[in-house]
Structure 1
Amino acid sequence: MTISLSKGQRIDLTKTNPGLTKAVIGLGWDTNKYSGGHSFDLDASAFLLHSDNKAKGAEDFIFYNNLIGGNGSVEHTGDNRTGEGDGDDEQIKVDFSRIPAHIHRIGITVTIHDAITRSQNFGQVSNAFVRVVNEESNNEILRYDLGEDFSVETAVVICELYRDSQGQDWKFQAVGSGFQGGLQALCKNYGLDAQ
């Protein structure tokens, strides 16, 4: 049975789902009709964060040009340039058993590629969601629908996965925090210099 979360809510992932080691983080969205002349290209990314909640280098940033990180524990399955169709538009796979001990949190984000040039923002995006699926059983564990809270933002932190205080189990937090400035703003937020 899927658990639906609201912005700000947290839930145990691995403690309440014994045996969960491999999860698929599925992200999806639709774009509203508009006459801007450009198609939308939304991109999912994962930031692997150390104890200070910062990424330290390129190996901690998983996206369409760097598909695998964290010693193979986090994998982006590839860029969907149109967002057409139902279901997940992009997926990030996480193997909790392989995440390096120095990684305490994983930020899952979505940005609009070339948003400024194309005059696009998340106010033109609807039905955005994230869901966590047990990769081995294909059962959906939870879902967070973002709603229509955004207007001018060009990047959104969708959710974060984080270790509990003992460092053994992983939890999920529905974040839904928007940024102006696209990928550069997100990288700066997470301690990386993106040029």
Structure 2
Amino acid sequence: MVSLQKGQSVRLEKSGGGSLTRVAMGLGWDVRKAKGFFGKLVGGGGEIDLDASCLLFDAQGNLLDQVWFRQLSTRDGSIVHSGDNRTGAGDGDDEVIQVDLTRLPATVQTLLFTVNSFMGDSFDRIENAYCRLVDSTTGKEMARYDLTGAGSHTGQLMAKLTRNGDGWDMKALGERTSGRTFQDMMQTIRASL
């Protein structure tokens, strides 16, 4: 497993060599707990609704399709979202986007994964947030990126997968932005392609 820092890239390959066929991008988070007397007065804890999205772009930067809580599958079924988790409660991945790389149309050059706070809560209220890429055929975690970082932003570009010959590269983006849905973040998204 590779722990990525913002801006780092890694070539995605099976541990024994060969090309990946199916991957999953997992998103996990917890709500920051209120601390001390002052924390109890001003609140804290509660629920935060983070949403993972996957956007499919061609080589010219045209948006071909998207997967998010309002559209849980691409038109061709090559990418499927696990569904909306509105609280971040529990251990492990809170939302998962499954990608069958072998079924992606050849026109798809880039997959860009985003996370946003649908209710407008800032990342100041979030802790233990991460995205991770898993080889779905083996269950092995291939790369992880820590998303936690205080700030008034409500969205973040997590990572992008870019077609590279017969394989894929993953780049950790960590680009902070604002928006309740990926549509609100399109200016930052396009700049990251």
The TM-score, its normalising length taken from structure 2, stands at 0.85
Q: Compared with structure 1, are the counterparts of its residues 101 and 70 closer, same or farther at alpha carbon in structure 2 (3 Å cutoff)?
A: farther
The unaligned stretches of length 5 or more in structure 1 are: none
Q: Compared with structure 1, are the counterparts of its residues 26 and 79 closer, same or farther at alpha carbon in structure 2 (3 Å cutoff)?
A: same
Residue-pair matches, total: 180
Q: Which residue of 2 aligns with 1:151?
A: 151
Amino acid aligned to 1:9: Q
The answer as to whether partners of 1:27 and 1:130 remain within 8 angstroms in 2 is yes
Matched, 1:78 2:76: no
Q: Which residue of 2 aligns with 1:33?
A: 33
Distance (Å, rounded) in 2 between the aligned partners of 1:37 and 1:93: 29
Give the fraction of aligned pairs with identical amino acids, expressed as a percent: 37
**CA positional deviation for 1:143:** 1.2
Q: Compared with structure 1, are the counterparts of its residues 85 and 37 closer, same or farther at alpha carbon in structure 2 (3 Å cutoff)?
A: closer
Q: Which residue of 2 aligns with 1:128?
A: 129
The unaligned stretches of length 5 or more in structure 2 are: 35-42
Distance (Å, rounded) in 2 between the aligned partners of 1:6 and 1:37: 28
**CA positional deviation for 1:54:** 3.4
Q: Which residue of 2 aligns with 1:24?
A: 24
Map Cα deviations across residues 141-163 of structure 1 (whole Å, 9 max, x no partner): 11111241x41111110000111
Q: Which residue of 1 aligns with 2:50?
A: 42
Distance (Å, rounded) in 1 between the aligned partners of 2:53 and 2:115: 6
Q: Compared with structure 1, are the counterparts of its residues 70 and 104 closer, same or farther at alpha carbon in structure 2 (3 Å cutoff)?
A: farther
**CA positional deviation for 1:189:** 4.3
Amino acid aligned to 1:7: K
Map Cα deviations across residues 65-122 of structure 1 (whole Å, 9 max, x no partner): 211116211110111111101110100001111111111101111111121xxxx201
Amino acid aligned to 1:171: D
Distance (Å, rounded) in 1 between the aligned partners of 2:50 and 2:84: 9
Q: Which residue of 1 aligns with 2:94?
A: 89
Amino acid aligned to 2:131: V
Amino acid aligned to 1:175: L
Secondary structure of 2:63's aligned partner: coil
The TM-score, its normalising length taken from structure 1, stands at 0.84
**CA positional deviation for 1:63:** 0.6
The answer as to whether partners of 1:15 and 1:169 remain within 8 angstroms in 2 is no
Q: Compared with structure 1, are the counterparts of its residues 86 and 37 closer, same or farther at alpha carbon in structure 2 (3 Å cutoff)?
A: closer
Distance (Å, rounded) in 1 between the aligned partners of 2:136 and 2:184: 31
Matched, 1:108 2:113: yes
Measured on the aligned residues, the alpha-carbon RMSD in Å equals 2.0
Hey, which bits of structure 1, 4+ residues long, moved more than 2 A? 14-17, 36-39, 187-191
Q: Compared with structure 1, are the counterparts of its residues 36 and 127 closer, same or farther at alpha carbon in structure 2 (3 Å cutoff)?
A: closer
**CA positional deviation for 1:187:** 3.7
Distance (Å, rounded) in 2 between the aligned partners of 1:109 and 1:97: 22
Amino acid aligned to 1:174: A
Matched, 1:53 2:70: no
